[in-house]
C-alpha cells in the first residue's frame, strides 16, 4: 500500500511504502505521476537501492537526459554513467577538501534554479537520491520553491503583463549573476548559447507557474539591464519564505522535482568531515535519450 502525505502547507509530497527494488508496477507509476501533478516535489522514502534500480524507476516517466560527455568522459565505475553527481566526492569517491575553489564550483546550485532550463530539450523531472547524506547540521539540505503558488499570488495586472513574455535562459550569464567569475576558457569548454522559454508555463492539470530561476537572465524584447531587473524582481517574489520547503535528507531518499513548476537550491556544506554522495537521474518530456550538448550539436549540424 503506497501512501502520500503533504509536508508543506502548499506542496511537497512524501511517498511512503513504494519498493523500488522490485519490478515497478503500473500502480506505482500512476501514484507517482499523480503525486507529482499535485505536489510538484515529492520525496520517495526508500531504503538503499542500486543505480540500476534508480535508472529503471526514472525511465518510467520519460527518456533520460544523459550527463554531458556521456560515453566519452572519464568515469570511475563507482557510479552508473547515466547519473549526474551532486556531492563532495571526486571520481574515486574520496572527499574533496573544503577549499574556496571547491566551494565556488558549487555556488551556482545555491541559487534557486530549474535543472537544464538552459537546454533546448524540455526537462521534465530530476530525481536525486541520497546515497550518503551528511547530518543536517553540517549543511547540505536542499531547498524547494513552488512556482505555482507564487504565480497564484501575483496581482492580476502582473499575471496579464507576464502572460505573453518569453524568458531568456543563459547558463554562463546566470553563473555570472550568481557571483562566479566566468573565464573565456570555461565558456569555450562548454558552449551553451541562450534558449527561450515562456515566462508563464501551464502544467497539464491547468495550473500556471511563473518560470524564472537562476538560469533565467532576461526577457525577449527588453534591454539586458531591464530584463535582468525584471526577472530578478520575479525571483525575489517566488523565493519568499512562504513558498520554500527545506528538505533534510535521510539516506535512501529519492527527491523528485518538477523542473517546469518548481525551483531548487543547494545549501552549502560547512565542513569536509562528511561524505555527501548524491546521484541524480534527469528525465525529459520527450525526445531521444541523449546528452543535451550532443543534442544541441546535432540540431545545429542539421540546421
Ligand atoms: C541538482 C542540485 C542540489 C543539492 O542535483 O541538480 O541542484 O542539494 N542539487 O545537491
Ligand atoms: Mn540542480
Using a 10 angstrom Cβ sphere, with 0-12 exposed, 13-18 middle and 19 or more buried, the burial of residue 157 is exposed
* Phi, then psi, of 276 in degrees rounded to 5: -120, 110
Nearest ligand (C-alpha, residue 249): 1
Instruction: Report the nearest-CA residue for atom 7 of ligand 1.
Output: 109
Contact 44, 256 (CB under 8 A): yes
Nearest CA-CA partner of 180 in 118, 111, 272: 111
pLDDT lower than 70: segments of the chain: 105
Asked whether 201 and 260 are in contact (CB, 8 A), the reply is: yes
Q: What is the pTM of this model?
A: 0.96
Q: How far is the CA of 265 from the centre of ligand 1 (A)?
A: 7
CA–centroid distance, 66 to ligand 1, in Å, is: 16
Nearest residue (CA) to ligand 1, atom 1: 86
Q: What pLDDT score was predicted for residue 178? A: 86
Give, using CA atoms, the residue closest to atom 3 of ligand 1: 266
Ligand 1 contacts (CB < 6 A) are 86, 109, 115, 126, 128, 142, 264, 266, 278, 280
CA proximity to 277, closest of 91, 118, 115, 120: 91
Best probe residue, ligand 1, of 264, 274, 279 (max atoms within 8 Å of C-beta)? 264
For residue 1, the CA-to-ligand 2 centroid distance in Å is 31
Q: Which atom of ligand 1 is least distant from the CA of 115?
A: 6
Ligand 1 atom with minimal separation from the 109 CA: 7
36 alpha carbon – ligand 2 mean position (Å): 17
In angstroms, what is the span from residue 279 Cα to ligand 1's centroid?
A: 9
Neighbouring C-beta atoms of residue 298, cutoff 10 Å: 11
Question: Could you say which DSSP state residue 187 is in?
Answer: H
Q: Provide the β-strand partners of residue 123.
A: 284
Scanning 143-223, the segments in alpha helix (DSSP H) are 147-152, 156-162, 171-177, 184-189
**Distance from Cα 171 to the centre of ligand 2, integer Å:** 12
Answer whether 22's CB lies under 8 Å from 53's CB: no
Q: Ligand 1: which atom is nearest the Cα of residue 141?
A: 8
Instruction: Output the average pLDDT for the chain.
Output: 94
Report the atom number in ligand 1 closest to the C-alpha of 140. 8
Cβ atoms of 140 and 276 within 8 Å: the answer is yes
Give the closest residue (by CA) to ligand 1 atom 8.
266
Cα distances from 32 to residues 149, 245, 254, 297, in angstroms, run 20, 19, 12, 33
- Using CA positions, which residue lies closest to atom 4 of ligand 1? 266
Which one of 58, 86, 105 would you pick to mutate in the ligand 1 pocket, going by the greatest count of ligand atoms within 8 A of its CB? 86
CATH superfamily of 3-302: Clavaminate synthase-like (3.60.130.10)
Domain residue spans in the chain?
3-302
Segment holding 31, helix H or strand E: helix 26-39
Amino acid at each position: 500500500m503506497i501512501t502520500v502525505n503533504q509536508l508543506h502547507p502548499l506542496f511537497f509530497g512524501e511517498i511512503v511504502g513504494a519498493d523500488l527494488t522490485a519490478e515497478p508496477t503500473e500502480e506505482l507509476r500512476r501514484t507517482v505521476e499523480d503525486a507529482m501533478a499535485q505536489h510538484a516535489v515529492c520525496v520517495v522514502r526508500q531504503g538503499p537501492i542500486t543505480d540500476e534500480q534508480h535508472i529503471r524507476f526514472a525511465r518510467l516517466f520519460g527518456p533520460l537526459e544523459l550527463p554531458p560527455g556521456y560515453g566519452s568522459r572519464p568515469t570511475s565505475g563507482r557510479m552508473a554513467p547515466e547519473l549526474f553527481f551532486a556531492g563532495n566526492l571526486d571520481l574515486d569517491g574520496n572527499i574533496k577538501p573544503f577549499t574556496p575553489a571547491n566551494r565556488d564550483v558549487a555556488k551556482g546550485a545555491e541559487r534557486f534554479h530549474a535543472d537544464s532550463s538552459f537546454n533546448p530539450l524540455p526537462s521534465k523531472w530530476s530525481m536525486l537520491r541520497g546515497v550518503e547524506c551528511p547530518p543536517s547540521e553540517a549543511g547540505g539540505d536542499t531547498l524547494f520553491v513552488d512556482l505555482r503558488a507564487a504565480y497564484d499570488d501575483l496581482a492580476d495586472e502582473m499575471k496579464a503583463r507576464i502572460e505573453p513574455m518569453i524568458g531568456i535562459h543563459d547558463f554562463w550569464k546566470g553563473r555570472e549573476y550568481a557571483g562566479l567569475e566566468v573565464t573565456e576558457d570555461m565558456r569555450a569548454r562548454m558552449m551553451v548559447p541562450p534558449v527561450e522559454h515562456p515566462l508563464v508555463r501551464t502544467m497539464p492539470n491547468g495550473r500556471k507557474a511563473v518560470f524564472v530561476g537562476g538560469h533565467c537572465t532576461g526577457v525577449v524584447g527588453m534591454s539586458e539591464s531591464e530584463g535582468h531587473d525584471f526577472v530578478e524582481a520575479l525571483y525575489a517574489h517566488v523565493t519568499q519564505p512562504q513558498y520554500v520547503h527545506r528538505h533534510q535528507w535521510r539516506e535512501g531518499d529519492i527527491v523528485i522535482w518538477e523542473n517546469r513548476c518548481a525551483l531548487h537550491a543547494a545549501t552549502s556544506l560547512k565542513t569536509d568531515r562528511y561524505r555527501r554522495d548524491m546521484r541524480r537521474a534527469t528525465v525529459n518530456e520527450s525526445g531521444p535519450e541523449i546528452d543535451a550538448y550532443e543534442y544541441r550539436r546535432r540540431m545545429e549540424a542539421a540546421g
